[in-house]
Amino acid sequence: MYFPYFIAYIALGFLITIPVFLWALKSGQFKDQQRARFLPLEDDADTPVVRASRISRYEIGALVFLAVSGLITSASIVVFALFSAGR
């Protein structure tokens, strides 16, 4: 009877994914798709190094936190399922 745990896990994933996707749309992450295919061909040797702003550091920290918490949640559900299977 693991279905409620997996349904809650999937619902939590959607609750996290939808706001992140809407943020990406709002911040213009998907604009200029035609340019994206040529990015690997550009020579970036002349461009100066740009320091990350304070907000971008917070965004990076938030994304790392989400990734780590997702991995921990996945591992805990697998461990719970394995230990509950023996009962």
- Residue 51: the pLDDT is 77
Q: Where are the domains of the chain?
A: 1-26+54-87
DSSP for residue 48 = P
Spatial CB neighbours of 12, under 8 Å, sequence gap ≥ 6: 73
Tally the C-alpha atoms within 13 A of residue 76's C-alpha that lie toward its C-beta.
8
What parts of the chain have a pLDDT lower than 50?
none
- Residue 40: the pLDDT is 75
- Residue 71: the pLDDT is 92
**pTM of the prediction?**
0.45
Distance CA 60, CA 23 (A): 14
CA geometry: angle 67, 54, 59, nearest 5 deg = 20
For 41, phi then psi, to 5°, come to -90, -15
- Residue 62: the pLDDT is 92
